[in-house]
Structure 1
């Protein structure tokens, strides 16, 4: 039995990585993404990043996530957007407040909670297969 995450979740993960952690900064161990870079453009950059961030929320909604979790995801995106309007400090805080990653973690936790039995069963089968291979060697 193989359990795969739905395409919406995989798309959200890729988008969040691009927006929040795509680039490793030299010398310091911090990763940033397009959100931090494009967010440096006053006003328009933050608005564009909010629009793209809401794509992740829409992917969560299309999975059938509960309204309370969707609202939490929207709140994370709006906080990120609002922080961008604080000159300089907002840009620095934006590096550390990774709303898109937070939203994907909400999606992942929800999806796992909905599919726990299948994930556990697939994990058990994979473990049994691995154990049998180890015994054969």
Structure 2
């Protein structure tokens, strides 16, 4: 199978590296998949991701997932999203990080409060309105 040098493979699919809106959208969707929906808990069919797993490591896990969440905000900034949406997204990451830092309760909250999914929803609404050609079929 021939692979393009311009599209690194990640999580089983091509990860675009371009500066165009569609490439940014796909990177953001891939980050959300990685952080929130990478694995299924057997028996209950509940999806979790690295945010919930890495968050179990005190302090370091929360810092790592916060940095990954803020990368998504940075991508949104590069897309030209309004500042108020960026602040809302930053607030989602900050709340997830603050609650996640509380021992035990924070770990349970990481399973319920999905800041990356919320932020992806904000980005998708913006892109669907301002860049309708980048719409993808959710499935």
Bucket of the pairwise TM-score, normalised by the shorter protein? 0.7 to 0.9
Aligned residue pairs total 116
Runs (4+) off by over 3 Å: none
Higher relative contact order (CA 8 A, sep 6+): 1
Deviations 1:13-34 (A, max 9, x none): 1011100111000011211100
Contact 2:21–2:79 at 8 Å: present in 1 too? no
1:119 CA displacement: 7.6
Q: How far, CA to CA, are the matches of 1:17 and 1:78 in structure 2?
A: 20
Using the size of structure 2 for normalisation, the TM-score is 0.78
Aligned to 1:15: 31
In structure 1, the gaps of 5 or more residues are: 121-137
Instruction: State the Cα RMSD in Å.
Output: 1.8
Q: 1:26 to 1:56 in 2, by over 3 A?
A: same
Write the deviation string for residues 50-92 of structure 1: whole angstroms up to 9, x where unpaired.
0111111011011000000000000000011011111111111
Task: Say whether 1:66 aligns with 2:96.
Answer: no
Q: Which has the higher helix share?
A: 1
